[in-house]
Structure 1
Amino acid sequence: MPTRIEQLKRRKIDPQMPPNAAPHITDRLIEIGLTEAAGMGAVPLSWREIKAWRESVGLTIEPWEMRLLRRLSAAYLAETRRAESELCPPPWRTQPTAREREIELAELQRLLD
C-alpha cells in the first residue's frame, strides 16, 4: 500500500508542512539520522550516537540541544509507528486547499459514475 506522501505525490498535491521555527535543529537531526537501527528495528538516537556525531563534525552544541535532538528522534519514531495505520490523521491540521477539494470531488464523482 502506498504511503500518504506517495498518494499525495501521485495526485500532484504538495503536502502542507507545519512551520519550522528552528530549521538548524531539524537539519542536524536529519544529518545524524532520524533513528538508529537496533536488534528488533529502529530506536531513537542514543546519547552515544548524538555525541559521536557532534564530535565528528566538530560542533559545540548546548546540552538542551542534545536533549531536544533525542526527544525529536523519539517523537519521530513514535509518529512513524502511529502512522502505519491508514486511518491515522496527519500530526498537524491544515485546511484543505482548493486543489485538494477539486481532486477529492473529481475522485468521488468518478466513483459514483
Structure 2
Amino acid sequence: MPLPELDDGMHIVEALMSVGPMGSAGMGPSVVTWPEIESWHRSTCSSLKPHELSLLRELSAEYLGQWLEAKDRNCASPELIKPLAVDAKRLALHIKNLLRG
C-alpha cells in the first residue's frame, strides 16, 4: 500500500498557535484543555480530524514543557519558525523516506 502524500505539517502548528499553545491555570500556565480545543474547533469550523486535535493537545504539552525548561538561560527558546517552501518539500520527502524504511 503506498504511503499518503505528506505536507510539512504547518497547518497543525498554525492551529496550535490559533488555539494558543498554552492554557492558564490558577497557579500558572497549563496544557490547553479539551474544552478549549473543542470550543476552538467548533467556533472556527476547523477541518482538523480527531487525531489532529489529539496532536494539538500533545503539542501543547510539549510546548509548555519546553517553555518551562527555557527559563534556564542556557536553554533554547520554544520559537516556531515556518520553513521556506523549498525546505518544507525537502522535509516532507525526508519524512516519507523514513516511513518507508
TM-score range, shorter chain: 0.5 to 0.7
Name the structure 1 match of 2:96: none
TM-score, length-scaled by structure 1: 0.58
Matched, 1:68 2:60: no
Cα distance per residue 1:29-51 (max 9 Å; x no partner): 10111111110001010111000
Report the AA paired with residue 11 of structure 2: H
TM-score, length-scaled by structure 2: 0.65
**Residue aligned with 1:85, SS:** coil
Greater CA radius of gyration, 1 or 2? Answer: 1
Report the AA paired with residue 31 of structure 2: P
Name the structure 1 match of 2:20: 33
Of all paired residues, the percent bearing the same amino acid is 36
**Residue aligned with 1:70, SS:** helix
Relative distance call for 1:24 and 1:40 in structure 2 (3 A) is same
- Aligned partners of 1:84, 1:24: CA distance in 2, in Å? 28
Q: Name the structure, 1 or 2, with higher relative contact order (CA <8 Å, separation 6+).
A: 2
**Where do 5+ consecutive residues of structure 1 fail to align?**
1-19, 92-113
The runs of at least 4 aligned residues of structure 1 exceeding 4 Å deviation read none
- Aligned partners of 2:21, 2:43: CA distance in 1, in Å? 17
Shift in Å, 1:68: 0.4
Relative distance call for 1:28 and 1:90 in structure 2 (3 A) is closer
**Where do 5+ consecutive residues of structure 2 fail to align?**
1-6, 79-101
